[in-house]
Amino acid sequence: MPTACPMIVDATVRPPTDREPGCVRAAFVCGEDYQFRSRTAYMRLLVLCLGLSVLEAGARGADNASAAENDEMRRHAAQVEINALSQGQRRPLERVAEPLMRYSDPARGAAKGALWAWGTVGRPAAIVEMEINPSRPRSSQWVHGVVSLSPELIAASWTDGRQWKASRPGLLARPVPDAPAPAASKPDRLRQMKDLARRFGVREDAGTVRGKIQLRLLPTPIHRYEDPRSGLQDGAIFVFATGTNPETLLVLESRSERSGPGAWCYGLARVSGCALTAELDGREVWSQEEANPPHDGAAYMNRHHAVLDGPE
C-alpha cells in the first residue's frame, strides 16, 4: 500500500496536512522510496504548487467577476422591449436567450460588451448592442444601440421611459452579383457564405487622430437561421470588427425560388456610431455617416444608460 511520504520542513519531518495545497498533498501519495532527499527539493515543489494555487484562485476570481458582469449584462437586456409594428398593431418580439457575441475593447474604453437579438424565427428583427465604459459617470457608463434588420417597422422602449421608433424598414436586401447558386446542404452553404463574405470590405472613419481603419471580418458568423415558410432557405450574420468590437453587420441569405434553385442576397447594418463605408469586390456599395450617442436615426439609434443599482 502506498503511504504518505514525510515532508521536510524546518528540519522536521511530518506528513502532509489537509491545509497543504492539493498538488502538494498529491505529491506525497507515493511509496516510501520516493521521499524528498533534500529540503531544497521540497521547497522547489512547494513554490511551484503555491504558484499554481494562486493561479487557480485567480481563475476562480475571474470566473466570479465574469459571472457578475454577465448578470449585469442580462439585467440591462431586460430593460429593453422591442415591438414589431404592422397595420397599426404592436407585437412584442422575443429576445434570444443568449447574446450572439461578447467582446471587449479596452483601447476604446469598452470594458465589456455584447450583441443581443430580438426575434427568434428567421432573421432577427433587431440587434441590440450593449457595452460599458467604466471611465464615464455612473449616469452614462452604458451605451445601448438598436439596429433594425426587420422588413417591417420596429419600436424600442426602456423601463426608464425612453422610446424610439424606426421610420423605415431596417435592411435593404440586394442580390450578390456573380454568386453561385445556393448549395443543397447546410455545410456547403456555410462555405459559400464565408466565401461571399470575404468579397466585402468595411472601413471605419475613426476621426482625425486614428483616421480610417480597415475592419476585420470575423471568420465565423455569430448567428445562423432559416425560415422555410417564408422562403428563407438559409441565413447568417457576419461581423466586421475592430479587434473583437463589432462595428458592422453583414447579413447573407439564400431564398428559394419556385422557378429555380434560388439566389444569394446581402444587407449591411451598423452597430457603431462611427462613419462607415463598405465595398463589394472593391466597389463602394454602402456608407453611413457618424452617429455618436445620443442618436435617433431612421433604422438605428443609440443612447447612454445609467448603471443599474442592484439585482431586480
On whether residue 312 sits in a domain, the answer given is no
What is residue 149's predicted lDDT score, i.e. its pLDDT? 98
| Final residue of a structural domain among 66, 92, 119 | 66
Q: For residues 132 and 140, give the distance between their C-alpha atoms in angstroms, rounded to a whole number.
A: 9
Asked whether residue 16 falls in the same domain as residue 103, the answer is no
Asked whether residue 152 falls in the same domain as residue 282, the answer is yes
Asked whether residue 150 falls in the same domain as residue 237, the answer is yes
Helices of type H across the chain: 22-27, 39-77, 186-197, 207-210
pLDDT digits (tens, 9 = 90+) for 84-116: 999 889 999 999 999 999 999 988 877 799 999
On whether residue 41 sits in a domain, the answer given is yes
Domain count, the chain: 2
On whether residue 71 sits in a domain, the answer given is no
What is residue 110's predicted lDDT score, i.e. its pLDDT? 77
pLDDT digits (tens, 9 = 90+) for 264-311: 999 999 999 999 999 999 999 999 999 999 999 999 999 999 999 765
Owning domain of residue 253: 78-305
Asked whether residue 160 falls in the same domain as residue 300, the answer is yes
Asked whether residue 150 falls in the same domain as residue 274, the answer is yes
pLDDT digits (tens, 9 = 90+) for 162-219: 999 999 999 989 999 999 999 999 999 999 999 999 999 999 997 777 789 999 999 9
Instruction: Locate 143 and state its grid cell.
Output: 451605451
Asked whether residue 138 falls in the same domain as residue 23, the answer is no
Asked whether residue 100 falls in the same domain as residue 204, the answer is yes
What is residue 27's predicted lDDT score, i.e. its pLDDT? 45
Asked whether residue 61 falls in the same domain as residue 204, the answer is no
On whether residue 311 sits in a domain, the answer given is no
Asked whether residue 10 falls in the same domain as residue 90, the answer is no
On whether residue 125 sits in a domain, the answer given is yes
| Final residue of a structural domain among 46, 66, 86 | 66
On whether residue 31 sits in a domain, the answer given is yes
Comparison of pLDDT for 260 and 219, the residue scoring more: 219
Asked whether residue 38 falls in the same domain as residue 132, the answer is no
| Final residue of a structural domain among 66, 90, 121 | 66
Asked whether residue 105 falls in the same domain as residue 178, the answer is yes
Asked whether residue 116 falls in the same domain as residue 44, the answer is no
User: For 14-53, b where at least 16 C-beta lie within 10 A, e where not — what string?
Assistant: eebeeebbeebbebbeeeeeeebeeeeebeebbeebeeee
Q: For residues 229 and 264, give the distance between their C-alpha atoms in angstroms, rounded to a whole number.
A: 17
On whether residue 310 sits in a domain, the answer given is no
On whether residue 299 sits in a domain, the answer given is yes
